[in-house]
Amino acid sequence: ACYFLSDEVGAIGRVKALSRALGLPVLWFGDRAPAGEVPQTVGPLDFVSALSGASYVCTDSFHGAAFSLLFEKDFSVFDRNYEHNRGQSTRIDSLFELCGVKTEKVENRRDVVSWDRAAVEKRLGRLRDESERFLFGSLKAVAGIVSE
């Protein structure tokens, strides 16, 4: 599966070369696809399903990277740059750091080369627990304010 938020022309050739090397077809989805390719129009459920069923994921998206980790997929993350704001990868870098994921830089992409799936799941579980405590605590505080 291939999910991009930018029109990074250089990435397209590298995705196609990776597809040939891995012997896998490319499913382009989101609103970005190279000329001559038809992007799949997907809603949230189809998006998650496409990543869940993919053999390999190429993305420049935080959510593409996050779901690849959650579904334990092999994947590559491409740099995303916009003219008005260079470098859009800080959330992805933070996610990788939190999860202990190691990458190898290859031109404008980072191939995920080392990650302990069990350790990532454990770390994500702790982060989920912290997030739920914060969310539920905040909701209780708001409910207490509203009910008074």
For the segment 100-112, what is each residue's pLDDT rounded down to a tens digit? 888 877 766 667 7
| CA 75 – CA 70 distance, rounded (Å) | 12
CB-CB contact of 4 with 11 (8 Å): yes
Which residues 6+ apart lie within 8 Å of 123 measured at CB?
A: 98, 99, 100
Interval 127-144: pLDDT, tens: 999 999 999 999 988 887
The CA distance from 28 to 43, in Å, is 14
SS3 28: strand
pLDDT on residue 148? 46
